[in-house]
Amino acid sequence: MKFGTSIQQSIKFLFGFALMACAAVLFSGSSSEKPNLDDSKFKTETIVTGLNMPWSMAFLPDGRALVTERTGKLRIIKGGQLDPKEITGIPKVYFRGQGGLLDVVLHPNYKENGWIYISYSSPKKEGEAGEDGGANTALMRAKLNGYELTNIEHLYKASPNVKGGVHFGGKILFDKKGYVFLTLGERGQKENAQNLGKAQGKMVRLHEDGKIPTDNPFVKTKDALPEIWSYGHRNPQGLVMHPKNGTIWEHEHGPQGGDELNIVEKGKNYGWPLITYGIDYDNSIISDKTEAPGMEQPVIYWKPSIAPCGMTFVTSTKFKDWNGDLLVGSLKFQNIEHLVVKDNKVVKKEVVFEKIGRVRDLKEGPDGNIYVVIESNGSIVKISPKS
């Protein structure tokens, strides 16, 4: 390398870093904010232990709950206890790194149709595109008969298969119009988040039976995958719908700094990796831009990164002071963040329930309490008001 070139690169690095530092002061919220929660109002109880790498949970109408274990098992919680008997019928799962059995969500009309939707990292099968020994995120649905999954239907699989164990996404969401959304990480190949011909770093929208809607934004775009709803994502690990206005909120892991909270809309580009508020793990600059024409800005971003995972809007009357607000879990800092939401903007942010553990999922239960899936010790914690 020539000496002059080295100086120019150093200046570029320092300039880009300074730009991001300035942006952090203006736009980010620090994960080190002191808790503003009055702990006397709430209690936390560990109600289930013994899980192995739990990832997601769903409440059945009969009072039981389903929990996925990333190792490839689907478990039942019954009467506050982990049922020792496992559910059979789970497809072969690519359990590697961040991959495995991921989200579990009930169909909105579950009482009538019995459909359970599950996402998982699916190993490459014969005839599929991509690397031998690789995998990508898939979506299936099935019905539960005792301890067995039946009527299994494989609805969708992202393409191509990629080796490595990072960035599978995997969050499932139903809207109120008969569609199901699935988040897809870019599988460590960041450039493909901008490639509409590959299902990496995307959110896809499907009919409930897996068929592709004819009004998806890129159905008529040459060489684009018709299932894509939005693109330019890194690794989306939170996905919820606003209970009143129906907007779709997503959060995703950034690199060092630059975790994002987004409102996701049809056909929009969320920028990764062309714009980002983060830097790479070796401190190198991924992009010297934090915004660009045609690319969306996050509602907020986190710097330093909190590794957001799990998210729920609060609607319960048990938490009336938080009604309409967001709770976001943190894997890195092992706490929960309470985000006050007004008019689709975050107007206040505070850390609550410090050192609760590595939060993998957050759900508001049918009883109005908040349930937290803790990855680090394989437990489920209930948060409820003190009487």
Cα–Cα–Cα angle for 133, 119, 378, nearest 5°? 95
Residue 30 has pLDDT above 60, yes or no: no
Two structure tokens written together for 99: 């991959």
> How confident is the model at residue 39, as a pLDDT?
59
Q: What is the pLDDT of residues 135-167, one digit of tens each?
A: 999 999 999 999 999 999 999 999 999 999 999
Q: What is the dihedral of CA 160, 164, 165, 169, to 10 degrees?
A: -30
Residue 6 has pLDDT above 70, yes or no: no
Residue 212 has pLDDT above 90, yes or no: yes
CATH 2.120.10.30 fits 30-385, yes or no: yes
Please state, in angstroms and rounded to a whole number, the distance separating the CA atoms of residues 225 and 128: 15
The whole-number average pLDDT for the span 301-315 is 98
Q: What is the pLDDT of residues 65-79, one digit of tens each?
A: 999 999 999 999 999
Residue 149: its H or E element: strand 148-157
Please compute, for residue 249, the number of CA atoms within 13 A of its CA located in the half-sphere on the CB side: 26
Q: What is the pLDDT of residues 106-129, one digit of tens each?
A: 999 999 999 999 999 999 999 999
Residue 22 has pLDDT above 80, yes or no: no
Q: How confident is the model at residue 387 (pLDDT cuts 50, 70, 90)?
A: confident
Would you list the domain boundaries of the chain?
30-385
Residue 24 has pLDDT above 90, yes or no: no
Q: Mean pLDDT for the chain?
A: 92
> How confident is the model at residue 1, as a pLDDT?
37
Q: Rounded to the nearest 5°, which phi and psi values hold at 9? A: -65, -40
> How confident is the model at residue 31, as a pLDDT?
40
Catalytic residue IDs: 167
